[in-house]
Amino acid sequence: MMRQFELVERVRSYDPTADEDAINRAYVFSMKAHGSQMRASGDSYFSHPIEVAGILTKYKLDAASIITALLHDTIEDTAATLPEVEKLFGSEIVRLVDGVTKLSRIELQSDHSKQAENFRKLVLAMSEDIRVLLVKLADRLHNMRTLRFIKNPDKRRRIALETMEIYAPLAERIGFSEIKNELEDLAFAELHPDVRESLVARLNFLREKGGDLISRILEELRATLKEAGVEAVVSGREKTPYSIWRKMQMKNVGFEQLSDIMAFRVQVRSVEDCYRALGVIHSRYPMVPHRFKDYISIPKPNGYRSLHTGVFGPERQRIEMQIRTADMHEVAELGVAAHWSYKQGQRPADGKQYRWLRELLDIMEHASNPEEFLEHTKLEMFQDQVFCFTPKGDLIALPRGACSVDFAYAVHSEVGDACVGAKINGRMMPLRTPLNNGDQVEIITSKAQTPNPTWERFVVTGKARARIRRYIRTQQRAQYLDLGRAILNRAFKQEGYDFTEKGLDGVLKIFKAASVEDLVVTVGEGHLTGREGSRRSIPN
């Protein structure tokens, strides 16, 4: 377990101005609060917040995030209180600790509706301060590293599935690629242990068969770039078992048919050098068709920038290559955490500047319940993307398989609601036509148009689906309201009375209705008969 002075030294190694006294006080406070508590592994519970803080120091997060990591379980699992934390550490720390505390209940939930509600809280907390998510991801990473100590296999599987479906995609969305990869692989080991074991065995066999293949490829790539006058740092690695398995599933191929299991990274000084290096690589080695992607010209929504290409490289090996500058590499590895490094003068105050997070907040507004929000959010986060353009050249990122209706809702909710047609690259096309990378899409709208319920069959974004379902619910409610009024009107007349909605005020509590309109809708839906409603309302 990391000692107090070691943690302080780690933080001060990248942030000499960090509040050493506050970190020391948080360390001691957390150690005393957790006392003799033990984890499932048999280790002292205090080892967990220390490990979480240690993970965050690797990404050079600010002192407030480190202190939050030390304190993140004290409110939930000890006698410590929020007023006590605020008195000792201030308003910023208590706000962050409270945000993480509210989320720490997620993994304890077996009930799907409670899990969905907690995820809704996670998105709200992220929108207030993205550091809440950074601490939560580090917390989840350490919990996944020690998952094997939990004896209940159902609980292990539930935590692994939640990690794969929620936390790994969130890590990817904020550019935490290293944490995303480890979370995926740890969850994969729990969910599909036999498959992972088989892939690891095959990778070991290839490694033994190929000897120092990666070293030989690296040597030739370095020599090729140096010969062309491009100064570069070249590194190589095998893809993780999970990324290999996912590619096998997506392409529906066996392990033997996958030849690009090795990835190589080229770091250069400038953007111009990126394209020079690409030109050298493509002129020397045959390019694999459809494998080139330019994320420098068109960055990913999480800020990721790099050139990607696939080539038949040294020794005729099919390899993937990423070409980027040192700054791009920092963002690729740290993502949003790169903006929280001590060296950044201006730090973002919240998470609302991230488009994907604004999209989640918009979905939350239109989803009817937490379960629907969770469903739409998974759609939004867990898919590969295509990049399309508006006629003005604005970039719109969408999940693969998205259509013009998804595009319209991504531009603006009102544009989606009023969409009647679309031109893709200047040609009128059916609204359900899947979009491809680089498509220019012009949405044609009409004030008389309303969302078409049939759109729900082919849209793929959570935002579009949430808006369409909301419209359907509103339309259905209006129809049930008219029908309920007609039924009640007839029932009242049969009793010799005129129907008025005001006359239902006195029976709202009897039927457990929030409003008269809700009661009339219940009659229209058939959950309550008009006769019962009229008889309870008419005075004896």
Local structure of 134: helix, strand or coil: helix
- What distance in Å separates the CA atoms of residue 445 and residue 407, rounded to the nearest whole number? 13
Q: Which residues pair with 318 in a beta bridge?
A: 312
User: What are the strands of the beta sheet with 318-325, ordered from one edge?
Assistant: 233-238, 262-268, 318-325, 307-312, 293-294
77: annotated active-site residue: yes
86: annotated active-site residue: no
- What distance in Å separates the CA atoms of residue 401 and residue 22, rounded to the nearest whole number? 50
- What distance in Å separates the CA atoms of residue 282 and residue 122, rounded to the nearest whole number? 44
Catalytic residue, chosen from 20, 43, 77, 456, is 77
Contact call for residues 154 and 160 (beta carbons, < 8 A) = no
- What distance in Å separates the CA atoms of residue 419 and residue 239, rounded to the nearest whole number? 42
Q: How many CB atoms lie within 10 A of CB 465?
A: 24
Catalytic residue, chosen from 20, 43, 76, 128, is 76
Pair of tokens at residue 11: 């933080």
Selection from 162, 190, 179 nearest residue 336 by Cα? 179
Burial degree of 428 (CB within 10 A; 0-12, 13-18, 19+): exposed
What's phi and psi for 381, nearest 5 deg? -95, -30
Can you state the percent helix, strand and coil of the chain, rounding each to 5? 60, 10, 30
Look at the block and give the residue holding tokens 């509590």: 509
Render the burial of 398-422: b for 16+ CB within 10 Å, e for the rest.
bbeebbbbbbbbbbebeebbbbeeb
Contact call for residues 366 and 467 (beta carbons, < 8 A) = yes
What's phi and psi for 308, nearest 5 deg? -115, 135
Beta strands 233-238 and 262-268 are antiparallel
Residues tagged active-site: 76-77
